[in-house]
Amino acid sequence: MSQTLMAEQVQEHAAQPGRPRRRRRNTLPYVLVFLIVAYLSVFILFPITQQFLTSFSNNVVGVDEVRWVGLRNYERLWQDDDFWVAVRVTFVYMACVVVGSVTIGMLSALLMNRTFRGRAVARSAIAIPWAFPEISAVLVFIWMCNPTFGVMNVFARLIPGIDENLGWLSDPDMAMPLVIALSIWKAFPFAFLVILAALQAVPRDLYEAAEVDGAGRLQQFRFITIPEIAPTLMLMAVLMSIFAFKQFTLIWLTTGGGPYGGITETLVLGIYQTAFRFFDLAYGATLGMAGFVIVLGLTLLFIYVQQRARGR
């Protein structure tokens, strides 16, 4: 009874004239959310939607009438041997870049996490490849691999049995390993910086307690370091996978997908050549949707693995 009476008094007090309610609403969060949603809608959601719709058409430059063709492009995709070759090349390239960049980044971070003279200079030097512009790095790399005056042949001639200049990027056996090496050199400093920050966040008490219990360096690394930085390693695997999957500049400027037979042609290069070289916009959009599905599936797989690891 008393609660009902109090509720009625509150309503009467709120309804009394001359006492406007003072309600302050901060609009800044709504404005920021609106800007983010607008940006994602215009520059991400709209292009994806447009590409999805284009993949169901016969949109080719020079065709007068663009019409709906249903799943014809996806049937062509399923039967296209070049597409499956590009997918295989992409996964080989991606796996090598992810394993190489994360492994070298972690080893560098473990080394730079120690205290020694000149550590700050060494850390800055390791980060240089990541900050180096991709086009400049590729031009220097091409000059190094030049079959006539490249410095790579100077060192190659020091190896017994090699008495002539090698065509590094024109050799089908060496083109992909060289592109992978260049990509790892460009990507591993980012993994190094992130993993180094994770290592510095590991509590020192854990290592001190392990030393008291008689654990060696290898045991500390296995049972303390790896579990503590495992989420960071998983994150770097996801980021490096995306970096490698969408890499275009390094591969296109070094080999252009060649030297022949699509040896280094990844799915991204196939999309570019189909849409902007052969002007088959519809099939290029179909290839793009296939790439989108692959990246989305890999991301969801990594999230699932990470959630299971946390549950354990």
By mean pLDDT, which of 47-56, 69-78, 211-220 is the weakest? Answer: 211-220
pLDDT (mean) for 114-131: 89
pLDDT of residue 8: 54
Question: What are the residues facing 68 on neighbouring strands?
Answer: 57
Question: What does the alpha-carbon distance between residue 135 and residue 3 come to, in Å, rounded to a whole number?
Answer: 74
Q: What is the pLDDT of residues 54-110, one digit of tens each?
A: 999 988 877 667 789 889 999 999 999 999 999 999 999 999 999 999 999 999 999
pTM of the model: 0.85
Does position 271 have pLDDT exceeding 90, yes or no? yes
Does position 297 have pLDDT exceeding 80, yes or no? yes
The pLDDT confidence band at residue 11, using thresholds 50, 70 and 90, is: low
pLDDT of residue 301: 86
> Which one of 92-96, 124-128, 231-235 scores highest in mean pLDDT?
92-96
Does position 4 have pLDDT exceeding 60, yes or no? no
CATH class of 81-311: mainly alpha
Indicate the average pLDDT of the chain. 87
Question: What does the alpha-carbon distance between residue 178 and residue 33 come to, in Å, rounded to a whole number?
Answer: 44
Q: What is the pLDDT of residues 142-176, one digit of tens each?
A: 999 988 888 998 888 888 888 888 888 888 889 99
pLDDT of residue 312: 65
Does position 22 have pLDDT exceeding 60, yes or no? no
% of the chain surpassing 70 pLDDT: 91
Does position 248 have pLDDT exceeding 80, yes or no? yes
pLDDT of residue 76: 93
Better pLDDT: 134 or 14: 134
pLDDT (mean) for 306-311: 75
pLDDT (mean) for 173-180: 93
The pLDDT confidence band at residue 308, using thresholds 50, 70 and 90, is: confident
What are the structural domain ranges in the chain?
81-311
The pLDDT confidence band at residue 214, using thresholds 50, 70 and 90, is: confident
pLDDT of residue 6: 52
The pLDDT confidence band at residue 15, using thresholds 50, 70 and 90, is: low
pLDDT (mean) for 11-19: 53
What six digits make up the tokens of 170? 């024109």
